Chain A
Amino acid sequence: MTAALSMHNGQTVALADVPVLSVAELRDHVIRAAGAGARLGAFFGNPLDASSLRLFAILVDGFSGNLLVLATDVADRYPALTPDCPQAHWFEREIAEQWGVRPLGHPWLKPIRFHRSYRAGEDAWGRPADAALLPGVTDFFQVAGEEVHEVAVGPVHAGIIEPGHFRFQCHGEEVLHLEISLGFQHRGVESGLLGGPDKRSLHFIETLAGDTSVAHAIAYSEILESLGGVTVTARAQSLRGIALELERLANHTGDLGALATDIGFLPTSSYCGRIRGDFLNTTALLCGNRFGRSLIRPGGLWFDVDGAQVSQILERLEAAEREVTNAADLLWNTSSVMARFEETGPVSVDTCRDLGLVGVAARACGLERDCRYELPSGIFRFAQIPVSTWDTGDVFARAYVRWLEIKRSAAFIRDQLGTLPAGHIHSPVPETAPSSLSVSLVEGWRGEVCHVAITDKGGRFARYKVVDPSFHNWMGLAIALRNQQIADFPLCNKSFNLSYCGHDL
């Protein structure tokens, strides 16, 4: 059997070197690797010609720190991986929707974003070309019975959040099943990136999930640097790491506050909202934008810091860290809060592995899934942040892992600012290599951000695949809610805090 191509994070390989297996071989390989603990980082199609599609699977092997790349060619159908490898389920629905290729035997094959197929005339569900495709208009899983009732929530919500539709099958207060239907935010980011890189590409990337701008921008930049064959200076790498951890600090702090809001715990709820702002303002010190937009660029950064800025960042960091410590300790020391957090929305470690969850959600199940540790790139090859895990898998674990990461990120930033290497912050990026494939993984605050670029003969993007951590984790939320109280949904939802636009692209 042909071996998979092994590569490291941020490497570029010639497209011709990617082994093309038969569908059966690819299934075997992926199922075996998944069984041995690897996860599917990305699984997507790229058209070869009008009638056939090449499927690429990127397996992330955390133990060896390697990425395994495989490919296979399919026409209009192939035997689905999902029955034997559940973590492929959302990817296969995406492939079916994007290319009109049917994964046969997929147990729950439905659109995920409600757009037309990328190949005209090929529709996995045989829908007419002029049929209106409305998000959320589809068949939902239903539980029958006189005492069962259905609750539909969204896409318009009571809070200021993004649109998504949730269907609960309830027996009294107990949720038997939750189905989540997204796609309302689909803007066509991946199509917009085709033919790039160009002036607009970075802006597409920075805005595809607004709260993860820095992580996505770093992933994109590492792809271009790898395709161009340029090494970023140590100073730029360090500053990128600082920006990434500041993003994590702001979002984790905001999440702890939001969790407190959902259970009506006033003190932490009020403090964290403001402290999150302090972290965002610290990011703004770096580049003038609170969300770190226009900070990262291929080859390095747009903005350098001087000594005065460094001391100001350190000062602000210290104050904010002290305050967030107080606010978070209030959570852990208040029994009414712990009573709400503990044993709410648990996900077992087996479920977590089966579904291929990533990021905070996976670490809260006790899995050491953290790209900064497993497949370090950039500054994380030199400065290690310990992986924060907790093994109860409930809302408390997801909250507590965030708190552990807040402390470790703050310590990391302090270290980096103390030993900031000298040098310039940008290196010119040469032309992108033609007919190549490049993969980059960055641990964003929510989890693993995976970008894959395939270039054509001219070095332009023939395919640019973005996998936001939310793509892996939405199903985790649905499963976490089984046999839980419907009144605990907002709390569970907040403990995952997934992105709608990052999923919908």
Chain B
Amino acid sequence: MQTIALVHPALALVLSPLLLGVINRTKAIFAGRVGQPLAQPYRDLWKLLRKGAVYSRTTTWVFRAAPVVGLAAILLATTLLPLAALPALLAFPGDFILLAYLLGLVRFFAVIGALDTGSSFEGMGASREVQFSALAEPALLLGLAAVAYHTHSLSLSEMISGLSSTHWSQAGAMQALLAASLFMVLLTENARIPVDDPNTHLELTMIHEVMVLDFGGPDFAFILYGASLKLWVFCALLTGLALPVRTGNLWIEVAVAVIAIFGIAVLVGVVESCMARLRLIRIPQLLVGAGLLSVLALVLSLR
């Protein structure tokens, strides 16, 4: 194991809450507001960590385990991802499937944690989360399969390093389809508009937010931090697959990748500022669309 492989997880741990700050700032600029400080998510985490936790008497150990398992699983996911030329901490054939399952584990515990409260709101949120992620997961896996076939490798590290900077000119169509599909999955998995509204106060319309209504204090900090890491994981994956920059200088490549990750955060903010949420019954259509783009990418890579 190379020490340098620790750099990406470290970057993710330190910088991921800033992604949320960047999205918020982008939205604030669009709305003509000054907006909260960029570092507000860090302050929120620090505030929550110092609080005590309150648990409903109807909940069991499942409810308490959910934030911990969720955070642990997403931490593990960061070790599977390379960043530009930085190798992943763990790499083995088939690790992209583990990545998908780790994301699935995060969701599974979020869902049973929500169901454990017995609240009708949280049950509704859980049902929506499961319904939509069942459609988002194939889009992610098929997209990764397309890259796997294209690069003839089954490990994320090899898949991403196997893409060269001339990749766009060689397989531009596949690349564009893949990027579009992964961006839609990113928006869905991270509860952003047009799928979910992270800022809404209306329980009846929520998906992700309503599932975490009963968490407080350090548990909620774990969830928020886990959510920002998850956003980082998706941004890093999208950057790695859609923006292969090969300069030969490791640190320039890392800097470009980090800038690209924050660029995606800005893009998320722009999307949130320019469009309304979809009606809930329309979301499956969007996700099936994302899945189809992935299928097309796979077909193109098989060519």
> Which residues does A use to contact B, with CB under 8 Å?
149-153, 158-159, 172-173, 260, 262-267, 269-271, 334, 336-337, 339-340, 344, 485-490
Contact = CB atoms under 8 A, between A and B. Distances in A.
B280 A173 contact: yes
Nearest to B199: A264
A269 B121 CA distance: 25
Contacts of A265: 275-277
B280 A262 contact: no
A267 B193 CA distance: 14
Size category of the B interface is: 20 to 34
B36 to A, nearest CB: 14
A158 B30 contact: no
Nearest to B31: A270
B120 interface: yes
Given A149-B120, A264-B272, A334-B276, A270 B193 contact: no
Given A149-B120, A270-B33, A340 B279 contact: yes
Contact of B203 (A149, A153, A266): A153
A159 B31 contact: no
A382 to B, nearest CB: 41
Contacts of A336: 194, 275-278
Given A264-B193, A336-B275, A486 B204 contact: yes
A485 B31 contact: no
A221 B59 CA distance: 57
A340 B194 CA distance: 11
A153 B121 CA distance: 9
5 A-B pairs with least C-beta separation: A270-B31, A264-B197, A265-B276, A263-B276, A336-B275
B31 A150 contact: no
Given A152-B120, A336-B194, 15 more contacts: A172-B127, A260-B276, A263-B276, A265-B276, A266-B273, A266-B274, A267-B273, A270-B32, A334-B275, A336-B275, A336-B276, A336-B278, A337-B275, A487-B279, A488-B279
26 contacts: A149-B120, A150-B120, A152-B120, A153-B203, A158-B201, A158-B203, A159-B202, A173-B124, A262-B205, A264-B272, A266-B27, A266-B31, A267-B274, A269-B31, A270-B31, A336-B277, A339-B276, A340-B278, A344-B279, A485-B279, A485-B281, A486-B124, A487-B279, A487-B280, A489-B204, A490-B204
B249 to A, nearest CB: 39
Contact of B120 (A151, A260, A344): A151
Interface in B193-242: 193-194, 197, 199-205
B182 to A, nearest CB: 21
Interface in B86-140: 120-121, 123-124, 127-128
A388 to B, nearest CB: 24
Nearest to B27: A266
B280 A266 contact: no
Given A334-B276, A336-B278, A158 B194 contact: no
Contacts of A340: 276-279
B303 interface: no
Contacts of A270: 31-33
Interface string B170-196: 000000000000000000000001100
B50 interface: no
Nearest to B277: A264
Contacts of A152: 120
Secondary structure of the B contact surface, majority rule: helix
Contacts of A487: 204-205, 279-280
A264 B32 contact: no
B57 interface: no
Interface in B251-283: 272-282
Contacts of B272: 264, 266
Contacts of B127: 172
A344 B33 CA distance: 31
A461 B302 CA distance: 86
Nearest to B121: A151
A490 B124 contact: no
A340 to B, nearest CB: 5
Contacts of B124: 151, 173, 486
A267 B276 contact: no
A262 B194 CA distance: 12
Contacts of A158: 201-203
B268 to A, nearest CB: 13
Contacts of B282: 339
B204 A264 contact: no
Choose among B124, B202, B205 the residue with the greatest number of A CB atoms under 10 Å from its CB.
Answer: B202
A222 to B, nearest CB: 39
A340 B275 CA distance: 11
Contacts of A489: 204
A135 B31 CA distance: 40
B104 to A, nearest CB: 23
Choose among A159, A334, A336, A337 the residue with the greatest number of B CB atoms under 10 Å from its CB.
Answer: A336
A490 B278 contact: no
A264 B30 CA distance: 13
Contacts of A151: 120-121, 124, 204
Given A152-B120, A264-B272, A486-B124, A339 B281 contact: no
B86 to A, nearest CB: 35
B42 to A, nearest CB: 24
A147 B167 CA distance: 51
A302 B60 CA distance: 63
B281 A173 contact: yes
Contacts of B275: 265, 334, 336-337
Nearest to B30: A266
B127 to A, nearest CB: 8
A232 B180 CA distance: 66
B195 to A, nearest CB: 10
B31 A337 contact: no
B120 A490 contact: no
Contacts of A267: 30-31, 273-274
Nearest to B213: A158
Choose among B201, B205, B276 the residue with the greatest number of A CB atoms under 10 Å from its CB.
Answer: B276
A429 B197 CA distance: 55
Nearest to A330: B274
